[in-house]
A = this chain, B = another copy of it.
């Protein structure tokens, strides 16, 4: 028991665990806070017995942390696939802004990642630890963004003179703030719609290679 780590391939996640993950994510999307999620709420939603939760996980915190990590992993996996299918960096960036604008649950996953990296709660400590595992590496934002940036550099679309790490920082930071602006009108007091082109141009202006 307690063998589930949250880092399993989706295909290897037992059905009851999948139902539990679904319940946790649903609750989080509905605005419930991680700390307020009860085991009984999860299992009721998942349609399973309370004791069953403990056949797969050791503690309540593990259940929630695994659900969150699994979701973050899934989201960044999907994002990476989508991005890598795009033809050029402009399209990729555009897609990223679209996702932030239109896929609330993706932004939530992204923000959950940010919280995990910057908070001391037991949950986030746990999530961080799981995300440090080798199995998670490919799904880390730094790697997902890193891949398209390297691709851009290879294609000659992106400047060669900036370290890849700084370029990741650039994309990451603009996305995050853009997300915050959308999530709360109170942040920079600017309409998200009007902000978007500036963000796009800001990133492009800094990263894109000047030809000629």
A contact residues vs B (CB 8 Å cutoff): 31-36, 111, 114-115, 117-122, 128, 131-132, 140, 142, 162-163, 165-166, 168-170, 172-174, 176-181, 183-184, 186-190, 194-195, 198-199, 202, 205-206
Contacts and interface: CB of A to CB of B under 8 A. Distances in A.
A118 B112 CA distance: 9
Nearest to A183: B118
Number of this chain's copies in the assembly equals 4
A163 B201 CA distance: 13
A165 B187 CA distance: 10
A91 B120 CA distance: 32
A180 B142 contact: no
17 contacts: A32-B120, A33-B120, A33-B122, A36-B122, A115-B118, A118-B179, A128-B186, A142-B187, A163-B190, A163-B194, A165-B190, A169-B174, A169-B178, A170-B202, A173-B173, A173-B176, A206-B206
Nearest to A170: B202
A166 B193 CA distance: 12
A119 B114 contact: no
